[in-house]
Structure 1
């Protein structure tokens, strides 16, 4: 049965993608906590993106879910990496609140620009394509980039501040100013 195969493929593909991205982030930041926070942020935006067609009653081909999930994770995790890099750099000399605020200020324009470009490309495909399934994929990609941008600029700074102690504990070779702030 094709549905069973596709569902199995999705679970395996998604799991491998999440693990691969997590390992890369773990190696890059030398932290156990940071990959979890970043992947949670982007995965939340993917779940929101996929919930919209369900709640609006819009049809969505399952293979589209697989494709858009992989593209959204791969393309928008960079937003989270950029903001987190700025946060970690700032955290060496600033309190967690100052570091988060500075990270948003320093990376916000780049994140918004990147999300706007990806959204424009996706929405253009969605509005122009005469093939309904391709148009639906375009809309998902466009909306997904915007949702990821929104989550990275709003949820991720909060997660970084709330998880500051865990980040400090699970990150090798990184110092923070005044551990209690």
Structure 2
């Protein structure tokens, strides 16, 4: 935790950008808007970093900020007219084209299922996928560990149902 207290912003970016990118990916389908969301998340982390007191891990602190930005982004986007881009993912050539296509289709279906969850379940599921435990998820979301556990269980059930229906 001491190392976390002395973390510089470039260190935070180096350590947690992949996690921030995954959180943004789960909440935003449009590539350009997702990039803007990631930048907004990093800006919010930069602004909040001086207030970090080490009451939780730095990872939890950063995830909490990113999560709140993602939720506010979704709320703002819900009020705006919706548009979407064509997906430009192209299956690579080679012997395992079918396997690659199947894996990409599974990833696409999982992403769509995650994005279709209610925000409370989506944020819990994303944090669970990031490896946070129920106590940390509760801290990030501002709820008890029991409430976080329930949200995660509901998200799992919803995802399982959505994936079965999409199959």
TM-score (norm 1): 0.32
Higher-RCO chain (CA-CA 8 Å, sequence separation at least 6):
1
Larger relative helix fraction: 1
TM-score (norm 2): 0.33
